[in-house]
Amino acid sequence: MDSDIFPNIGKPIKNATNEFVDYLVINFGDGFEAFSNSLLFFLVKLERLLRSADPLIILLCVGLLTFAASRRLTLTAGMVGAMWFIGALGLWQQAMQTIAIMLVAVAISIIIGIPLGISAARSERFRALLSPVLDLMQTIPSFVYLIPAAMLFGLGKVPAILATVIYAAPPLIRLTDLGIRMVDGEVVEASRAFGATRWQILKGVQIPLAMPSIMQGINQTMMMALAMVVIASMIGARGVGETVLLGLQRNDSGQGLVGGIAIVILAILFDRITQSAGQRMQAYRNIGG
C-alpha cells in the first residue's frame, strides 16, 4: 500500500540522528567522558559517604533534618521510623545509592532550573521559546534520550542522572517562573523607586517572595526524580530501582513490592522534609492576620 502523499522523512531523520550521535562519540567522546568523570567524582564520593556511614548516624541525621525543618517531634519520630523500616526491608545499601543519585540530580536541576525560571519570568520571548522545550522534556519517553546518552556517557550512573534531570527539572523551572511573576508588582516597584539594581531586586525581593513556589518546585523535582529511579536502573544506575527491576525480570512480585515500598517511603521522607521547610520559610505570612 504505497501512498504518494507521505514523503518518507522518518528515514532521513533517523539516519541523520544516528550519524550525528556517531559524530559526537567519535569526535567529542573525550569531552563527554571528562564531563562524565567529573560528575561521577561527586556522585561516588557522596555515595561512598552515605553507604559507609553507620546507619545509626544516618537515622540521626534524618531525625535532625526533619526536626530542623518542621520543629515537630511526632513527624520526626515518624520519619526516623520510616527510614529504619527501609533498612528492615533489607534495602539499606540500595536506598543510600538511590538517595545519592537523586540528590545529585536535584542539585543539577536546581543549578540549571532556577536561573532558567528567572530568565523566563523576565523575558516573554525566552519563555515562549522555553515552554515547548519543557513540554518535550516532560513528555518524550525517556528511552529516546537514554539510548544516545548511554552511547555518549557509557552505561551507569551518569546517563541515569542526566535522564533524571531532563525529566525532573521542568516543574522547578515552571514554578520558579510562576513564583517570580506572582510577586506583588507594587513591592517590586517600591524597591525600584528606592534605587535598587536589578540584582538587588532579584536577590532581596523577587527570590525571597517566590520562595514558597520555588520550594514547591524543588519538592516536585525530588518526587519526579524518585519516580525515575526504576527506569534509570535499566541503564545500570543500581539502587532501589534495581530491586524492582530484578523482581520484574525474575517474575518475583514479592521483591518488586518490597522495592516499591522503599521508593514510596523515600518519597514521603523527602516530601515531608521539603514541605515543612517551605512552610517554615514563609512563616511571616501566617502570623497575625
Partner 1 sequence: MGTMAKIEVKNITKIFGSNAAQALPKVEAGMGKEELLAETGAILGLKDVSLTIEEGEIFVIMGLSGSGKSTLIRHFNRLIDPTAGQILVDGNDVMKLSNKELEQFRRQKMSMVFQRFGLLPHRTVIQNVAYGLEIQGVAKTERETTAMEWIEAVGLNGFENKYPSQLSGGMQQRVGLARALANNPDILLMDEAFSALDPLIRSQMQDQLVELQEKLHKTIVFITHDLDEALRIGDKIAILKDGVISQVGTPAEILLEPEDDYVRAFVRDVNRARVLTVDTVMQPPAMRITHDNIERALSEMVRRGEEYGYVIHNKEYRGYVTQEVLEEAVEDKSSSATIYDLAVEGNSVTLEDTLEEALPVTLEADHPVPVLDESGALKGILSQEEVGQILVPPSEDDEAESKPVSLKVIDKEEETLKAAS
Q: Site residues (CB under 8 A) for partner 1?
A: 184, 186-187, 189-197, 200, 204-205, 208-209, 282, 284-285, 287-289
Least distance in Å: CB of 283 to partner 1? 9
Q: Report long-range pairs for 132-138 (Cβ below 8 Å, ≥24 apart).
A: 134/170, 134/173, 134/174, 137/166, 137/167, 137/169, 137/170, 138/167, 138/170
Nearer to partner 1, 6 or 194 (CB): 194
Least distance in Å: CB of 194 to partner 1? 4
End-to-end CA distance of the chain: give it in Å, rounded.
Answer: 72
Nearer to partner 1, 89 or 202 (CB): 202
Least distance in Å: CB of 289 to partner 1? 7
Per DSSP, 205 falls in state I
Q: Report long-range pairs for 268-271 (Cβ below 8 Å, ≥24 apart).
A: 268/82, 269/62, 269/79, 269/82, 269/83, 270/102, 270/219, 270/222, 270/223, 270/226, 271/219, 271/222, 271/223
Nearer to partner 1, 24 or 196 (CB): 196
Nearer to partner 1, 125 or 285 (CB): 285
Selection from 53, 82, 73, 76 nearest residue 63 by Cα: 76
Nearer to partner 1, 5 or 193 (CB): 193
Least distance in Å: CB of 288 to partner 1? 3
Least distance in Å: CB of 188 to partner 1? 9
Instruction: Give the C-alpha separation, 162 to 168, whole Å.
Output: 10
